Copies of this chain bind each other. A is one copy, B any other.
């Protein structure tokens, strides 16, 4: 059985390194004893430290009610090799099936929230809903990371970016411009 002890704790003030590149994410919830997971490309970092994220989960998403009622989720970052599974997760509903079972995902208990981590993902971020003031108007949730984890067996994976039309870019060449980051040295 996989536990968070098999993962590497990721510093909370470095959560932006997991999310800022704009990867497609999975968002997991646990509500009334049932785990669910959705695919999401509408999210961003809001603040480096203490970290804050935002994401859009609509009333049309089965996860919406779980997120509202529990105020908790796990944001997971899959490597690009999971592309087909990631798309399939986003094209069926937890109202109809158990997605963890259907897609052979391994739910790992977190430390701070009831929602499950996804063991197959490169990174997992345990979050609590921090602000719901824009949920009614725009389905926009602010998420506060409470714990973050990476899989030590997946070093520097290629991430997956949805181009908004069913095509996806995986990370290609990495450009190192740290020398030019004169104003943002504390991020390096």
Give A contacts to B, CB under 8 Å. Answer: 14, 16-23, 41-47, 52, 54-56, 80, 83-84, 87-88, 90-92, 131, 133-134, 137-140, 142, 158-184, 187-188
Contacts and interface: CB of A to CB of B under 8 A. Distances in A.
Contacts of A174: 163, 167-170
A84 B21 contact: no
A142 B133 CA distance: 13
Given A17-B165, A87-B177, 4 more contacts: A88-B180, A92-B183, A165-B178, A170-B172
A129 B28 CA distance: 31
Given A22-B21, A134-B134, A167 B163 contact: no
B44 A54 contact: yes
Given A91-B182, A161-B161, A164-B187, A20 B42 contact: yes
Given A166-B181, A166-B188, A174-B168, A44 B43 contact: yes
Contacts of A165: 17, 178, 187-188
B20 A87 contact: no
Nearest to A158: B172
A138 B83 contact: no
A142 B165 CA distance: 23
B172 A184 contact: no
Given A131-B137, A169-B174, A177-B168, A42 B41 contact: no
A161 B42 contact: no
A47 B41 CA distance: 11
B45 A180 contact: no
